[in-house]
Structure 1
Amino acid sequence: MLLRRLFLATLALLMSAAVPAADQYDVEIIVYASLDPDTGEEYWPALQSGPDLASAWYFDHTPALQPLPRKAYRLDAITGALARSRQYRPLLHFAWRQPGWERNAALPVRINIPLGSALPVYPESHPLRAPGTVTAPSGLASESAFRGEMQLLEGTLMVYRSRYLHLVADLVYQERLGPSADSSPYGEDGGIVYQPIRLQQSRRMRSNELHYLDHPRLGVIARITPVEATEASEDKTEETPDSSPTE
Protein backbone atom coordinates (compact mmCIF):
# COMPACT_ATOMS: atom_id res chain seq x y z
CA MET A 1 0.00 0.00 0.00
CA LEU A 2 2.82 2.39 0.89
CA LEU A 3 4.62 1.69 -2.38
CA ARG A 4 1.39 2.32 -4.30
CA ARG A 5 0.91 5.71 -2.61
CA LEU A 6 4.50 6.67 -3.33
CA PHE A 7 4.07 5.64 -6.97
CA LEU A 8 0.86 7.67 -7.36
CA ALA A 9 2.39 10.70 -5.65
CA THR A 10 5.44 10.53 -7.93
CA LEU A 11 3.23 10.14 -11.01
CA ALA A 12 1.12 13.16 -10.03
CA LEU A 13 4.25 15.25 -9.50
CA LEU A 14 5.62 14.30 -12.91
CA MET A 15 2.31 15.06 -14.61
CA SER A 16 2.03 18.47 -12.96
CA ALA A 17 5.61 19.30 -13.94
CA ALA A 18 4.85 18.35 -17.54
CA VAL A 19 2.00 20.87 -17.81
CA PRO A 20 3.44 24.11 -19.23
CA ALA A 21 2.83 27.34 -17.33
CA ALA A 22 0.62 29.96 -18.94
CA ASP A 23 2.40 32.22 -21.41
CA GLN A 24 0.00 35.12 -20.83
CA TYR A 25 -1.80 36.43 -17.75
CA ASP A 26 -4.66 38.85 -17.21
CA VAL A 27 -4.00 41.12 -14.24
CA GLU A 28 -6.87 43.06 -12.65
CA ILE A 29 -6.14 45.65 -9.97
CA ILE A 30 -8.21 47.83 -7.63
CA VAL A 31 -6.42 50.48 -5.57
CA TYR A 32 -8.41 52.07 -2.74
CA ALA A 33 -7.89 54.48 0.14
CA SER A 34 -9.19 54.14 3.69
CA LEU A 35 -11.31 57.12 4.76
CA ASP A 36 -11.35 56.30 8.47
CA PRO A 37 -8.17 54.38 9.29
CA ASP A 38 -7.66 53.36 12.92
CA THR A 39 -4.01 54.35 13.30
CA GLY A 40 -4.16 56.27 16.59
CA GLU A 41 -1.44 58.90 16.78
CA GLU A 42 0.78 57.21 14.19
CA TYR A 43 3.02 59.69 12.38
CA TRP A 44 3.83 59.38 8.68
CA PRO A 45 7.14 61.05 7.84
CA ALA A 46 7.62 63.12 4.71
CA LEU A 47 9.08 61.04 1.87
CA GLN A 48 12.71 61.56 0.94
CA SER A 49 12.36 59.53 -2.26
CA GLY A 50 9.68 57.71 -4.17
CA PRO A 51 9.01 54.73 -6.43
CA ASP A 52 11.36 54.04 -9.33
CA LEU A 53 9.20 55.68 -11.99
CA ALA A 54 12.05 56.05 -14.46
CA SER A 55 12.19 52.28 -14.95
CA ALA A 56 8.41 51.83 -15.26
CA TRP A 57 6.36 51.64 -18.45
CA TYR A 58 3.12 53.18 -19.65
CA PHE A 59 0.92 50.97 -21.79
CA ASP A 60 1.78 52.89 -24.95
CA HIS A 61 5.50 52.36 -24.41
CA THR A 62 5.40 48.65 -25.25
CA PRO A 63 2.98 46.20 -26.91
CA ALA A 64 3.92 43.62 -24.26
CA LEU A 65 1.51 45.36 -21.82
CA GLN A 66 -2.00 45.26 -23.30
CA PRO A 67 -4.81 47.13 -21.48
CA LEU A 68 -8.01 45.08 -21.33
CA PRO A 69 -11.48 46.42 -22.21
CA ARG A 70 -13.99 47.03 -19.42
CA LYS A 71 -16.11 44.07 -20.54
CA ALA A 72 -13.24 41.80 -19.47
CA TYR A 73 -13.25 43.08 -15.87
CA ARG A 74 -14.38 40.66 -13.16
CA LEU A 75 -14.15 42.82 -10.03
CA ASP A 76 -16.73 45.53 -10.81
CA ALA A 77 -18.91 44.40 -7.89
CA ILE A 78 -16.04 45.01 -5.46
CA THR A 79 -15.37 48.48 -6.86
CA GLY A 80 -19.08 49.28 -6.53
CA ALA A 81 -19.14 48.10 -2.92
CA LEU A 82 -16.10 50.23 -2.08
CA ALA A 83 -17.69 53.27 -3.74
CA ARG A 84 -20.86 52.84 -1.65
CA SER A 85 -18.93 52.36 1.56
CA ARG A 86 -18.28 55.20 4.00
CA GLN A 87 -14.95 53.66 4.97
CA TYR A 88 -13.22 53.33 1.61
CA ARG A 89 -12.68 55.25 -1.61
CA PRO A 90 -11.77 53.36 -4.80
CA LEU A 91 -9.01 55.24 -6.61
CA LEU A 92 -8.20 53.08 -9.60
CA HIS A 93 -9.61 50.00 -11.31
CA PHE A 94 -7.90 48.65 -14.40
CA ALA A 95 -6.62 45.48 -16.01
CA TRP A 96 -4.00 44.41 -18.50
CA ARG A 97 -2.54 41.34 -20.20
CA GLN A 98 1.15 40.47 -20.06
CA PRO A 99 3.54 37.56 -20.56
CA GLY A 100 4.58 35.35 -17.65
CA TRP A 101 7.94 37.05 -17.26
CA GLU A 102 10.63 36.00 -14.84
CA ARG A 103 11.57 38.71 -12.36
CA ASN A 104 14.66 39.96 -14.18
CA ALA A 105 12.61 40.44 -17.38
CA ALA A 106 9.37 41.82 -15.89
CA LEU A 107 8.18 45.32 -16.83
CA PRO A 108 6.69 47.50 -14.05
CA VAL A 109 3.47 49.29 -15.01
CA ARG A 110 3.53 53.01 -14.25
CA ILE A 111 0.58 54.52 -12.39
CA ASN A 112 -0.27 58.21 -12.14
CA ILE A 113 -3.58 59.89 -11.27
CA PRO A 114 -3.55 63.71 -11.13
CA LEU A 115 -5.11 65.57 -8.22
CA GLY A 116 -8.73 66.45 -8.95
CA SER A 117 -9.44 63.36 -11.07
CA ALA A 118 -12.95 61.89 -10.94
CA LEU A 119 -12.76 58.70 -8.88
CA PRO A 120 -12.53 55.83 -9.34
CA VAL A 121 -10.35 56.15 -12.42
CA TYR A 122 -11.05 53.70 -15.24
CA PRO A 123 -9.06 53.39 -18.48
CA GLU A 124 -11.82 55.23 -20.39
CA SER A 125 -11.38 58.38 -18.30
CA HIS A 126 -7.63 58.19 -17.75
CA PRO A 127 -6.01 55.43 -19.81
CA LEU A 128 -2.62 55.50 -18.03
CA ARG A 129 -0.91 56.69 -21.17
CA ALA A 130 2.26 58.73 -21.15
CA PRO A 131 1.91 62.54 -21.30
CA GLY A 132 3.50 64.12 -24.34
CA THR A 133 6.53 65.25 -22.34
CA VAL A 134 7.31 61.80 -20.93
CA THR A 135 9.69 59.51 -22.78
CA ALA A 136 10.36 55.80 -22.45
CA PRO A 137 12.22 54.56 -19.35
CA SER A 138 15.80 55.75 -19.31
CA GLY A 139 17.16 54.22 -16.11
CA LEU A 140 17.45 57.57 -14.32
CA ALA A 141 17.38 57.70 -10.54
CA SER A 142 13.91 57.40 -9.02
CA GLU A 143 14.09 60.79 -7.27
CA SER A 144 14.46 62.67 -10.56
CA ALA A 145 11.22 61.19 -11.89
CA PHE A 146 9.34 61.42 -8.59
CA ARG A 147 9.91 65.11 -7.88
CA GLY A 148 7.45 66.64 -10.29
CA GLU A 149 3.83 67.76 -10.31
CA MET A 150 1.97 66.29 -7.35
CA GLN A 151 -0.19 63.27 -8.21
CA LEU A 152 -3.06 61.87 -6.16
CA LEU A 153 -1.70 58.36 -6.78
CA GLU A 154 1.64 57.52 -8.33
CA GLY A 155 3.90 54.52 -8.46
CA THR A 156 4.44 51.12 -10.05
CA LEU A 157 2.91 47.65 -10.15
CA MET A 158 4.84 44.62 -11.38
CA VAL A 159 3.84 40.99 -11.89
CA TYR A 160 6.34 38.23 -12.46
CA ARG A 161 6.46 34.45 -12.28
CA SER A 162 8.98 32.20 -10.59
CA ARG A 163 7.76 29.11 -8.80
CA TYR A 164 4.71 31.20 -7.89
CA LEU A 165 3.19 34.38 -9.24
CA HIS A 166 4.27 37.56 -7.48
CA LEU A 167 2.82 41.07 -7.33
CA VAL A 168 5.14 43.93 -6.37
CA ALA A 169 3.51 47.27 -5.53
CA ASP A 170 5.21 50.58 -4.81
CA LEU A 171 2.56 53.32 -4.61
CA VAL A 172 2.36 56.79 -3.09
CA TYR A 173 -1.05 58.26 -2.25
CA GLN A 174 -1.44 61.93 -1.33
CA GLU A 175 -3.93 62.06 1.55
CA ARG A 176 -5.61 65.44 1.96
CA LEU A 177 -5.09 66.97 5.42
CA GLY A 178 -6.49 70.51 5.17
CA PRO A 179 -5.35 74.13 4.76
CA SER A 180 -1.62 74.74 4.62
CA ALA A 181 0.39 75.63 7.71
CA ASP A 182 3.87 77.11 7.99
CA SER A 183 5.07 74.23 10.16
CA SER A 184 3.80 71.44 7.91
CA PRO A 185 6.56 69.11 6.60
CA TYR A 186 4.29 67.87 3.79
CA GLY A 187 3.67 69.06 0.26
CA GLU A 188 0.78 71.29 -0.72
CA ASP A 189 -1.24 72.14 -3.79
CA GLY A 190 -3.53 75.15 -4.09
CA GLY A 191 -3.17 75.95 -0.40
CA ILE A 192 -4.15 72.41 0.67
CA VAL A 193 -1.67 70.18 2.51
CA TYR A 194 -1.32 66.56 1.42
CA GLN A 195 0.34 63.81 3.43
CA PRO A 196 2.19 61.21 1.33
CA ILE A 197 1.32 57.61 2.17
CA ARG A 198 3.56 54.93 0.68
CA LEU A 199 2.59 51.29 0.17
CA GLN A 200 5.62 49.18 -0.69
CA GLN A 201 4.91 45.45 -0.63
CA SER A 202 5.52 42.20 -2.48
CA ARG A 203 3.02 39.35 -2.33
CA ARG A 204 3.14 35.76 -3.52
CA MET A 205 -0.09 34.95 -5.33
CA ARG A 206 -2.10 32.06 -6.68
CA SER A 207 -3.87 32.44 -10.00
CA ASN A 208 -7.67 32.81 -10.07
CA GLU A 209 -7.76 33.97 -6.43
CA LEU A 210 -8.31 37.38 -4.84
CA HIS A 211 -5.33 38.78 -2.97
CA TYR A 212 -4.99 41.87 -0.80
CA LEU A 213 -2.08 44.16 -0.02
CA ASP A 214 -2.91 45.81 3.29
CA HIS A 215 -1.93 49.18 4.69
CA PRO A 216 -3.69 51.38 7.28
CA ARG A 217 -4.31 54.09 4.66
CA LEU A 218 -4.07 52.38 1.27
CA GLY A 219 -4.92 48.97 -0.15
CA VAL A 220 -4.66 46.89 -3.32
CA ILE A 221 -6.99 44.09 -4.45
CA ALA A 222 -5.58 41.91 -7.21
CA ARG A 223 -6.56 38.91 -9.29
CA ILE A 224 -4.30 37.21 -11.83
CA THR A 225 -5.85 34.81 -14.33
CA PRO A 226 -4.03 32.61 -16.85
CA VAL A 227 -5.22 33.53 -20.34
CA GLU A 228 -6.03 29.89 -21.15
CA ALA A 229 -8.48 29.81 -18.23
CA THR A 230 -10.01 33.13 -19.27
CA GLU A 231 -10.54 32.06 -22.88
CA ALA A 232 -11.90 28.65 -21.86
CA SER A 233 -14.47 30.33 -19.61
CA GLU A 234 -15.52 32.69 -22.41
CA ASP A 235 -15.78 29.83 -24.92
CA LYS A 236 -17.93 27.82 -22.52
CA THR A 237 -20.27 30.78 -22.07
CA GLU A 238 -20.57 31.29 -25.81
CA GLU A 239 -21.29 27.59 -26.43
CA THR A 240 -24.05 27.34 -23.80
CA PRO A 241 -27.30 26.63 -25.69
CA ASP A 242 -30.19 29.03 -25.35
CA SER A 243 -32.64 27.43 -22.92
CA SER A 244 -35.41 29.98 -23.47
CA PRO A 245 -38.72 28.54 -24.75
CA THR A 246 -39.31 28.66 -28.48
CA GLU A 247 -42.58 29.36 -30.17
Structure 2
Amino acid sequence: MSWKVQNRRKYWLPVALILSLAATIATAEEQPEEEAPPWYQFEILIFERISAGAGSTEFWPEDPGTPSRLNAIPLTEAQTQKIGLRKPIETAASSAPDPFRPLAKSEWQLGEQHQHLSRSRNYKPLLHVAWRQQVIEPDQSQQLLLELPRSSNPQSAIDEPLRLEGTIRVGVKRYLHLEADLLLRQWETEDGTRGDSLEFRPAFRAFRMQSQRRMRSGEVHYLDHPIIGVLFLASRYELPTEPEPVEDETPVDGEVESQPKQEPVSTSS
Protein backbone atom coordinates (compact mmCIF):
# COMPACT_ATOMS: atom_id res chain seq x y z
CA MET A 1 0.00 0.00 0.00
CA SER A 2 2.76 2.38 0.91
CA TRP A 3 4.50 1.55 -2.37
CA LYS A 4 1.49 2.68 -4.37
CA VAL A 5 1.23 5.96 -2.46
CA GLN A 6 4.88 6.72 -3.00
CA ASN A 7 4.58 6.05 -6.72
CA ARG A 8 1.52 8.24 -7.00
CA ARG A 9 3.42 11.10 -5.37
CA LYS A 10 6.18 10.69 -7.94
CA TYR A 11 3.64 11.24 -10.70
CA TRP A 12 1.85 14.10 -8.94
CA LEU A 13 4.98 16.24 -8.63
CA PRO A 14 5.64 16.71 -12.40
CA VAL A 15 1.96 17.49 -12.95
CA ALA A 16 2.05 20.17 -10.26
CA LEU A 17 5.12 21.74 -11.84
CA ILE A 18 3.48 21.78 -15.26
CA LEU A 19 0.34 23.44 -13.91
CA SER A 20 2.40 26.04 -12.05
CA LEU A 21 4.42 26.85 -15.17
CA ALA A 22 1.27 27.20 -17.24
CA ALA A 23 -0.21 29.61 -14.70
CA THR A 24 2.99 31.70 -14.76
CA ILE A 25 2.93 31.93 -18.56
CA ALA A 26 -0.74 32.91 -18.57
CA THR A 27 -0.07 35.65 -16.00
CA ALA A 28 2.86 37.00 -18.06
CA GLU A 29 0.72 37.12 -21.18
CA GLU A 30 -1.99 39.08 -19.37
CA GLN A 31 0.43 41.82 -18.25
CA PRO A 32 0.25 44.91 -20.52
CA GLU A 33 3.30 45.93 -22.51
CA GLU A 34 5.42 48.71 -21.07
CA GLU A 35 4.65 52.07 -22.67
CA ALA A 36 7.37 53.66 -24.78
CA PRO A 37 8.98 56.86 -23.40
CA PRO A 38 7.21 60.02 -24.62
CA TRP A 39 8.65 62.18 -27.39
CA TYR A 40 9.39 65.87 -26.88
CA GLN A 41 10.64 68.71 -29.03
CA PHE A 42 13.25 70.85 -27.28
CA GLU A 43 14.69 74.21 -28.26
CA ILE A 44 17.54 76.13 -26.68
CA LEU A 45 18.67 79.70 -27.37
CA ILE A 46 21.94 80.74 -25.74
CA PHE A 47 22.95 84.40 -25.74
CA GLU A 48 25.56 86.69 -24.23
CA ARG A 49 25.15 89.88 -22.26
CA ILE A 50 27.22 92.57 -23.99
CA SER A 51 25.99 95.65 -22.15
CA ALA A 52 28.62 97.88 -20.54
CA GLY A 53 29.63 96.58 -17.13
CA ALA A 54 27.92 93.20 -17.50
CA GLY A 55 29.27 90.91 -14.81
CA SER A 56 31.68 93.57 -13.48
CA THR A 57 30.28 93.39 -9.95
CA GLU A 58 30.79 89.63 -9.68
CA PHE A 59 33.87 87.71 -8.57
CA TRP A 60 35.02 85.32 -11.29
CA PRO A 61 37.57 82.54 -10.71
CA GLU A 62 40.56 82.50 -13.04
CA ASP A 63 39.88 78.87 -13.97
CA PRO A 64 36.23 77.83 -13.55
CA GLY A 65 36.89 74.40 -15.06
CA THR A 66 35.51 72.86 -18.24
CA PRO A 67 32.24 70.96 -18.70
CA SER A 68 32.75 67.21 -18.89
CA ARG A 69 32.26 65.64 -22.32
CA LEU A 70 32.03 62.10 -20.96
CA ASN A 71 29.45 60.09 -22.95
CA ALA A 72 28.12 63.30 -24.56
CA ILE A 73 27.03 63.27 -28.20
CA PRO A 74 27.15 66.38 -30.42
CA LEU A 75 23.93 68.23 -31.10
CA THR A 76 24.64 71.28 -33.25
CA GLU A 77 24.28 70.90 -37.02
CA ALA A 78 27.95 71.67 -37.77
CA GLN A 79 29.07 68.90 -35.42
CA THR A 80 26.54 66.45 -36.85
CA GLN A 81 27.88 67.03 -40.35
CA LYS A 82 31.47 66.85 -39.14
CA ILE A 83 31.17 63.34 -37.71
CA GLY A 84 29.33 62.15 -40.81
CA LEU A 85 25.90 61.39 -39.40
CA ARG A 86 23.21 61.24 -42.03
CA LYS A 87 19.47 60.82 -41.72
CA PRO A 88 18.39 57.35 -42.80
CA ILE A 89 15.65 56.88 -45.32
CA GLU A 90 12.29 56.76 -43.56
CA THR A 91 10.12 53.80 -44.34
CA ALA A 92 6.41 53.33 -43.99
CA ALA A 93 7.04 51.00 -41.06
CA SER A 94 8.83 53.66 -39.02
CA SER A 95 7.39 57.13 -38.53
CA ALA A 96 9.55 58.09 -35.53
CA PRO A 97 12.01 60.97 -36.15
CA ASP A 98 15.75 60.68 -35.67
CA PRO A 99 16.54 61.69 -32.09
CA PHE A 100 19.01 64.49 -31.35
CA ARG A 101 19.02 65.74 -34.95
CA PRO A 102 18.88 69.56 -35.37
CA LEU A 103 15.61 70.77 -36.87
CA ALA A 104 15.27 73.29 -39.67
CA LYS A 105 14.75 76.94 -38.78
CA SER A 106 11.20 76.71 -40.09
CA GLU A 107 10.41 74.47 -37.10
CA TRP A 108 11.86 76.83 -34.47
CA GLN A 109 9.40 78.23 -31.97
CA LEU A 110 11.74 80.84 -30.45
CA GLY A 111 12.42 82.69 -33.71
CA GLU A 112 10.77 85.89 -32.47
CA GLN A 113 12.90 85.89 -29.32
CA HIS A 114 16.00 85.36 -31.44
CA GLN A 115 15.18 88.39 -33.60
CA HIS A 116 14.52 90.51 -30.52
CA LEU A 117 17.91 89.62 -29.02
CA SER A 118 19.65 90.25 -32.35
CA ARG A 119 18.27 93.81 -32.50
CA SER A 120 19.21 94.57 -28.90
CA ARG A 121 22.38 96.45 -27.94
CA ASN A 122 22.63 94.54 -24.67
CA TYR A 123 22.45 90.95 -25.88
CA LYS A 124 23.98 88.81 -28.59
CA PRO A 125 22.62 85.40 -29.67
CA LEU A 126 25.33 82.75 -29.75
CA LEU A 127 23.67 79.40 -30.42
CA HIS A 128 20.13 78.38 -31.36
CA VAL A 129 19.12 74.78 -31.99
CA ALA A 130 16.01 72.59 -31.74
CA TRP A 131 15.68 68.80 -31.77
CA ARG A 132 13.41 65.90 -30.78
CA GLN A 133 14.01 62.99 -28.46
CA GLN A 134 12.35 60.52 -26.15
CA VAL A 135 12.52 61.46 -22.47
CA ILE A 136 13.44 59.02 -19.71
CA GLU A 137 14.71 59.22 -16.12
CA PRO A 138 17.19 62.11 -15.62
CA ASP A 139 20.02 59.86 -14.41
CA GLN A 140 19.62 57.63 -17.50
CA SER A 141 19.09 60.32 -20.15
CA GLN A 142 21.61 61.16 -22.85
CA GLN A 143 24.00 64.06 -22.30
CA LEU A 144 24.25 66.39 -25.30
CA LEU A 145 27.30 68.39 -26.34
CA LEU A 146 26.96 72.01 -27.51
CA GLU A 147 29.76 73.93 -29.22
CA LEU A 148 30.02 77.22 -31.03
CA PRO A 149 32.23 76.53 -34.07
CA ARG A 150 35.62 78.18 -34.22
CA SER A 151 36.43 81.01 -36.61
CA SER A 152 36.33 80.12 -40.30
CA ASN A 153 39.69 81.87 -40.76
CA PRO A 154 42.38 79.15 -40.52
CA GLN A 155 45.01 81.56 -39.21
CA SER A 156 42.86 82.92 -36.39
CA ALA A 157 41.55 79.45 -35.55
CA ILE A 158 45.01 78.08 -34.72
CA ASP A 159 45.22 77.26 -31.01
CA GLU A 160 42.01 79.20 -30.46
CA PRO A 161 39.79 77.71 -27.75
CA LEU A 162 36.09 77.36 -28.32
CA ARG A 163 34.06 80.49 -27.75
CA LEU A 164 31.18 78.51 -26.24
CA GLU A 165 31.01 74.89 -25.15
CA GLY A 166 28.99 72.85 -22.73
CA THR A 167 26.50 70.08 -22.15
CA ILE A 168 22.79 69.79 -21.47
CA ARG A 169 20.61 66.88 -20.39
CA VAL A 170 16.85 66.56 -20.15
CA GLY A 171 14.95 63.91 -18.21
CA VAL A 172 11.55 63.41 -16.66
CA LYS A 173 10.13 62.20 -13.37
CA ARG A 174 7.05 64.01 -12.20
CA TYR A 175 8.31 67.11 -14.05
CA LEU A 176 10.84 67.70 -16.79
CA HIS A 177 14.36 68.27 -15.48
CA LEU A 178 17.03 70.29 -17.28
CA GLU A 179 20.73 70.23 -16.43
CA ALA A 180 23.00 72.75 -18.15
CA ASP A 181 26.76 73.21 -17.85
CA LEU A 182 28.03 75.96 -20.17
CA LEU A 183 31.36 77.74 -20.55
CA LEU A 184 31.70 81.06 -22.38
CA ARG A 185 35.04 82.68 -23.21
CA GLN A 186 35.36 86.40 -23.81
CA TRP A 187 38.52 87.83 -25.28
CA GLU A 188 40.09 90.86 -23.60
CA THR A 189 41.85 93.73 -25.37
CA GLU A 190 44.88 95.58 -24.05
CA ASP A 191 42.70 98.16 -22.33
CA GLY A 192 40.74 95.45 -20.52
CA THR A 193 37.57 95.58 -22.60
CA ARG A 194 36.05 92.39 -23.96
CA GLY A 195 35.44 91.43 -27.59
CA ASP A 196 35.16 88.45 -29.90
CA SER A 197 36.54 89.53 -33.30
CA LEU A 198 39.98 90.98 -32.61
CA GLU A 199 43.09 90.21 -34.64
CA PHE A 200 45.27 90.43 -31.54
CA ARG A 201 43.92 88.55 -28.58
CA PRO A 202 46.33 88.51 -25.65
CA ALA A 203 44.01 86.91 -23.08
CA PHE A 204 40.51 85.71 -22.40
CA ARG A 205 38.21 85.28 -19.43
CA ALA A 206 36.05 82.21 -18.93
CA PHE A 207 32.58 82.32 -17.43
CA ARG A 208 30.75 79.15 -16.43
CA MET A 209 27.06 78.53 -15.84
CA GLN A 210 25.95 75.38 -14.01
CA SER A 211 22.22 75.24 -13.54
CA GLN A 212 19.40 72.80 -12.90
CA ARG A 213 15.76 73.57 -13.53
CA ARG A 214 12.46 71.78 -13.06
CA MET A 215 10.15 72.66 -15.93
CA ARG A 216 6.71 72.29 -17.42
CA SER A 217 6.15 71.63 -21.10
CA GLY A 218 4.78 74.44 -23.25
CA GLU A 219 6.49 77.18 -21.20
CA VAL A 220 9.60 79.21 -22.07
CA HIS A 221 12.11 78.93 -19.24
CA TYR A 222 14.92 81.41 -18.63
CA LEU A 223 18.22 80.50 -16.98
CA ASP A 224 19.76 83.66 -15.57
CA HIS A 225 23.48 84.49 -15.27
CA PRO A 226 25.45 87.77 -15.24
CA ILE A 227 27.11 86.95 -18.59
CA ILE A 228 25.22 84.01 -20.13
CA GLY A 229 21.51 83.76 -20.81
CA VAL A 230 19.51 80.70 -21.83
CA LEU A 231 15.96 80.38 -23.14
CA PHE A 232 14.64 76.82 -23.17
CA LEU A 233 11.34 75.45 -24.48
CA ALA A 234 9.96 71.92 -24.16
CA SER A 235 6.90 70.82 -26.14
CA ARG A 236 5.25 67.41 -26.24
CA TYR A 237 5.65 65.85 -29.69
CA GLU A 238 3.10 63.42 -31.08
CA LEU A 239 4.40 60.93 -33.59
CA PRO A 240 2.70 61.14 -36.98
CA THR A 241 0.11 58.46 -37.52
CA GLU A 242 0.56 55.95 -40.28
CA PRO A 243 -1.72 56.55 -43.27
CA GLU A 244 -4.38 53.89 -43.67
CA PRO A 245 -3.94 51.71 -46.76
CA VAL A 246 -6.19 52.71 -49.61
CA GLU A 247 -8.40 49.86 -50.66
CA ASP A 248 -9.22 49.23 -54.28
CA GLU A 249 -12.52 50.84 -55.08
CA THR A 250 -14.90 48.21 -56.43
CA PRO A 251 -18.30 49.16 -57.76
CA VAL A 252 -21.26 48.20 -55.62
CA ASP A 253 -24.53 46.77 -56.86
CA GLY A 254 -26.21 49.13 -59.22
CA GLU A 255 -22.99 50.96 -60.05
CA VAL A 256 -21.62 48.47 -62.54
CA GLU A 257 -20.89 50.29 -65.71
CA SER A 258 -23.00 48.95 -68.53
CA GLN A 259 -21.12 47.54 -71.45
CA PRO A 260 -22.20 48.59 -74.93
CA LYS A 261 -24.43 46.02 -76.50
CA GLN A 262 -23.17 44.37 -79.63
CA GLU A 263 -25.48 44.13 -82.58
CA PRO A 264 -26.24 40.56 -83.58
CA VAL A 265 -24.51 39.42 -86.75
CA SER A 266 -26.93 38.52 -89.48
CA THR A 267 -26.47 35.04 -90.96
CA SER A 268 -29.03 35.41 -93.72
CA SER A 269 -27.73 35.51 -97.24
TM > 0.5: yes
Within 2, Cα distance between the matches of 1:111 and 1:179? 30
Within 2, Cα distance between the matches of 1:163 and 1:32? 29
Say whether the 8 Å CA contact 1:26–1:226 is kept in structure 2: yes
Within 2, Cα distance between the matches of 1:38 and 1:173? 14
Q: Which runs of 5+ in 1 are unaligned?
A: 1-19, 119-147, 182-187, 233-247
Judged with a 3 Å threshold, the aligned counterparts in structure 2 of structure 1 residues 27 and 158 are, in CA distance, closer, same or farther, namely same
The 5 A counterparts of 1:208-223 are 208-223=218-233
Query: Is 1:151 matched up with 2:162?
Result: yes
Partner of 1:56: 72
| RMSD (CA atoms) | 2.9
Larger Rg: 2
Within 1, Cα distance between the matches of 2:61 and 2:125? 24
Q: Deviation per CA, 1:75-118, whole angstroms, max 9, x where unpaired?
A: 11100000100000000111010101211221111011134379
The 5 A counterparts of 1:89-100 are 89-100=124-135
Query: Is 1:224 matched up with 2:234?
Result: yes
Q: Deviation per CA, 1:33-64, whole angstroms, max 9, x where unpaired?
A: 00125444423112252111132111448853
Say whether the 8 Å CA contact 1:22–1:227 is kept in structure 2: no
Within 1, Cα distance between the matches of 2:149 and 2:200? 13
Bigger CA drift: 216-225 or 172-181?
Answer: 172-181
The 5 A counterparts of 1:89-238 are 89-116=124-151, 150-179=161-190, 190-228=200-238
Partner of 1:239: none
Bigger CA drift: 98-107 or 208-217?
Answer: 98-107
Within 2, Cα distance between the matches of 1:149 and 1:177? 14
Say whether the 8 Å CA contact 2:144–2:167 is kept in structure 1: yes
Within 2, Cα distance between the matches of 1:191 and 1:40? 20
Say whether the 8 Å CA contact 1:156–1:170 is kept in structure 2: yes
Say whether the 8 Å CA contact 1:153–1:174 is kept in structure 2: yes
Q: Which runs of 5+ in 2 are unaligned?
A: 1-34, 86-97, 154-158, 193-197, 242-269
Instruction: Give SS of 1:83's match.
Output: helix
Among residues 58, 83, 89, which one is paired with 1:42 in the alignment?
Answer: 58
* Structure 2 residue identity aligned to 1:217: I
Say whether the 8 Å CA contact 1:180–1:191 is kept in structure 2: no
* Structure 1 residue identity aligned to 2:66: G
Instruction: Give SS of 2:62's match.
Output: coil
Say whether the 8 Å CA contact 2:144–2:169 is kept in structure 1: yes
How many pairs are equivalent?
177
Within 1, Cα distance between the matches of 2:220 and 2:37? 18
Partner of 1:135: none
Partner of 1:33: 48
Runs of 4+ in 1 over 6 A off after TM superposition: none
Partner of 2:100: 65
* Structure 2 residue identity aligned to 1:45: P
Judged with a 3 Å threshold, the aligned counterparts in structure 2 of structure 1 residues 21 and 51 are, in CA distance, closer, same or farther, namely same
- Higher strand proportion: 1
